[in-house]
Structures are given as C-alpha cells and as structure tokens.
Amino acid sequence: MAPQALNYDPDQMLTTEEAAPLCGYAESTMKLNRHLKRGPKFIKLGDGKNAAVRYRRGDIDAWLTERTFASTSEYSAVARHSQSRARNGIPAHASHVTPPWLRPTV
C-alpha cells in the first residue's frame, strides 16, 4: 500500500491553543508538560519567560506515533524494558528510544 500524502504542512507552526486539541490535552496541561519535559517538542520564540511558544505539526505527529501501540501487551513490554534500563543506568541505544513519559525525571 502506498503511503498517503499529508494534507497539511508538517512545518506548520501552531500555538499552544491550536496544538492542545491535537494532543488531546487542555492548554494548561500542555504548559505543565513543557515544564515537566513531557509532550511534543516545542519551539521557544525568544529568551524571556513570556516568549511565545510554537509546536511544529510534524513534531506533534511524531510524538503521537511514539505512543501508538497495537496492544496493551506491546505497551507493557516497552514500559517494562524502559523502566528496567533506567533503573540499571543503561542509556537507550539508537535502535531503542525510551518513550519520554517513561524516562526517569531528575
């Protein structure tokens, strides 16, 4: 089956208000997730505390894809493996990337 063409620009910049529904979150949750180093990658447009934040549509899709599983057992296997590696101080290698929500917080 041929891949479907995107019907949007993956480089499109979205505000937090526009990105939140795509992630299934409220704006306040998006802000909290940025603080906790969770959620999709974001861009800070400036240096100040109140500088504008934008999300690339492609980064949101990549973040959602990282969280897509075919079954609960598939998710459980990823979670167990990631938590075990984190406890043992073993960094993820190129062929396995620990999902951000399973990474230990420092």
Write the pLDDT tens digit of every residue in 28-49.
Answer: 999 999 999 999 999 999 999 8
Give residue 94's pLDDT: 44
Task: In whole angstroms, give the CA distance from residue 95 to residue 49.
Answer: 36
Rounded to the nearest 5°, which phi and psi values hold at 83?
A: -70, -40
Report pLDDT digits (tens) over 83-94: 765 566 655 444
Domain ranges of the chain: 13-102
CA nearest 54: which of 25, 99, 20, 9? 20
CB atoms within 10 A of CB 72: 8
Report pLDDT digits (tens) over 49-84: 899 999 999 999 999 998 888 888 888 888 887 776
Task: In whole angstroms, give the CA distance from residue 104 to residue 106.
Answer: 6
- Sequence-separated (6 or more) residues with CB below 8 Å from residue 97: 66
